[in-house]
């Protein structure tokens, strides 16, 4: 058997793990096991994994037309090999079709599905697979939009009702593109250190302390983690910045620690408790955030084992992640409409618990990286109806404060506001989709 290229073998294995174990591509692609690959192989591995995940429904449509068997009946290994080949032939012009076909046949053999090799070869040779031309027509219905941009139709329908057809189109387009790598500068000379390593940066588009990667490989440098920089989306950075300053701070769902690190940096004289449900993630958080003013605890945010009251609380709750589909495309194929109610119940429990830990006059920032109303406005409104000791503050005032201080550099401030909430929309804003609400506990005299 002819060996398969390291990049394709790695991509095939990762895609299978994502299917079989509900694993996340972003974690597997950066696993230590694949660090030994060359830069070129890592690049192709990432391109294949993310491309197949982004365009899965379009790939499956092409395969279905050429297959004598229904796609639902195909073994995972066979379907994954077919998806990889079709993606290469339609999107990667520099890879000859014969190479894509040959290696996908070999991948099936490698997966101990040798009997399926002739089938894979026949389907791929029968497929009318040509390089994908750029789209020139604008889809006018949810079904057309979902088909053109490889999104579940039910999700597209929701977004059109919530944001309108044009914003939904921008969201879908954004989800199908490679998002920029953005970083936060933690120390003054961080940019110089990166430049010395051959990394070229451009200014952040939302925040003064952010930078966008133009060239180079920051992941392979040694200046990350609690070093001079953190890799972090700009909207995520903005959420943590909105928490403000205090002497006692609580981060309820802290891992992997990007926002925790911002809170620690912005409150060097404050004490910060970072809670994380899973012990292994709490340990990872401790290795990534080593600031002396941070105490990491393994605890369920729904039942916080804390008696202290805090000036500032961040509840960045687990959510569907529909605002991050450009980085996590597997989510759109896993998520079901009924999942949103289950997530909402968990989010309400976390917010209720977190609110009980806010001191008089203190503030809580509630945030998600979801575009769904059930996880955002609905959770906040239900919490406020249940606990009359809190009021909802307008995010505009806090954004204006950051603008006056020179920290917020985005010019169209109004576009970030929806009602009293912060709302970033992928495609309209240069970042992931985040929702933020600021709640303040009323003082006794209020």
Cα distances from 269 to residues 171, 265, 351, 365, in angstroms, run: 40, 9, 26, 20
Is the separation of the CB atoms in 182 and 324 below 8 Å? Answer: no
Nearest alpha-carbon partner for 351 in 399, 301, 307: 301
Q: What residues are labeled active site? A: 369
- Which residues face 202 on adjacent strands? 212
Torsion of CA 370, 371, 372, 375, to 10 degrees: 30
| Structural tokens at position 198 | 């051959």
- Which residues face 215 on adjacent strands? 200
| Structural tokens at position 128 | 């009318």
In this structure, the strands spanning 200-203 and 294-298 are unpaired
Cα distances from 438 to residues 140, 220, 318, in angstroms, run: 36, 37, 17
Torsion of CA 91, 25, 178, 287, to 10 degrees: -150
Is the separation of the CB atoms in 285 and 218 below 8 Å? Answer: no
- SS3 assignment, position 208: coil
Chain center to CA of 290: 24
Is the separation of the CB atoms in 392 and 437 below 8 Å? Answer: yes
d(CA 258, CA 243): 13
Is the separation of the CB atoms in 371 and 433 below 8 Å? Answer: yes
Q: Which residues have C-beta within 8 Å of that of residue 192, sequence separation ≥ 6? A: none
d(CA 284, CA 420): 35
The crossing angle, in degrees rounded to 10, of helices 39-54 and 6-21 is: 40
- SS3 assignment, position 302: helix
- SS3 assignment, position 160: helix
- SS3 assignment, position 205: coil
């Amino acid at each position: 058997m002819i060996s398969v290229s390291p990049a394709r073998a790695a991509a095939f294995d990762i895609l299978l793990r994502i299917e079989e174990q509900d694993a996340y591509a972003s974690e597997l692609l950066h696993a230590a096991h694949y660090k030994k690959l060359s830069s070129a192989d890592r690049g192709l591995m990432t391109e294949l994994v993310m491309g197949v995940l982004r365009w899965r429904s379009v790939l499956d449509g092409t395969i279905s037309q050429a297959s004598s068997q229904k796609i639902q009946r195909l073994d995972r290994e066979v379907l994954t090999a077919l998806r990889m080949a079709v993606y290469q032939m339609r999107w990667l012009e520099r890879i000859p079709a014969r190479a894509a076909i040959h290696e996908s046949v070999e991948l099936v053999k490698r997966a101990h599905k040798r009997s399926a090799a002739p089938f894979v070869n026949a389907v791929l040779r029968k497929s009318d697979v040509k390089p994908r031309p750029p789209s020139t027509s604008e889809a006018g219905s949810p079904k057309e939009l979902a088909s053109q941009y490889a999104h579940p139709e039910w999700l597209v329908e929701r977004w059109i009702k919530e944001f309108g057809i044009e914003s939904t189109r921008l969201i879908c387009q954004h989800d199908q593109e490679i998002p920029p790598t953005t970083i936060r500068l933690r120390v003054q000379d961080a940019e110089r250190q990166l430049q010395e390593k051959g990394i070229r940066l451009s200014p952040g588009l939302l925040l003064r302390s952010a930078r966008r990667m133009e060239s180079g490989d920051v992941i392979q440098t040694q200046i990350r983690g609690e070093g001079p920089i953190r890799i972090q989306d700009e909207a995520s950075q903005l959420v943590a910045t909105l928490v403000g300053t205090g002497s006692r701070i609580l981060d309820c769902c802290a891992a992997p620690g990007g926002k925790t690190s911002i809170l620690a940096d912005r409150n060097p004289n404050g004490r910060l408790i970072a809670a994380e449900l899973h012990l292994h993630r709490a340990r990872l958080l401790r290795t990534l955030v080593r600031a002396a003013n941070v105490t990491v605890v393994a605890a369920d945010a729904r039942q916080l084992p804390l008696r202290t009251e805090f000036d500032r609380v961040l509840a960045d709750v687990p959510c569907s992640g529909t605002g991050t589909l450009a980085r996590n495309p597997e989510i759109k194929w896993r998520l079901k409409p009924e999942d949103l109610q289950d997530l909402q119940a968990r989010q309400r429990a976390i917010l209720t618990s977190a609110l009980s830990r806010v001191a008089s006059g203190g503030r809580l920032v509630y945030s998600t990286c979801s575009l769904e109303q059930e996880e955002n406005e609905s959770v906040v409104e239900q919490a406020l109806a249940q606990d009359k000791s809190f009021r909802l503050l307008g995010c505009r005032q806090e954004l204006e404060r950051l603008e006056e201080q020179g920290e917020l550099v985005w010019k169209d401030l109004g576009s970030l506001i929806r009602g009293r909430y912060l709302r970033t929309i992928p495609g309209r804003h240069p970042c992931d989709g985040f929702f933020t609400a600021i709640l303040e506990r009323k003082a006794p005299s209020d």
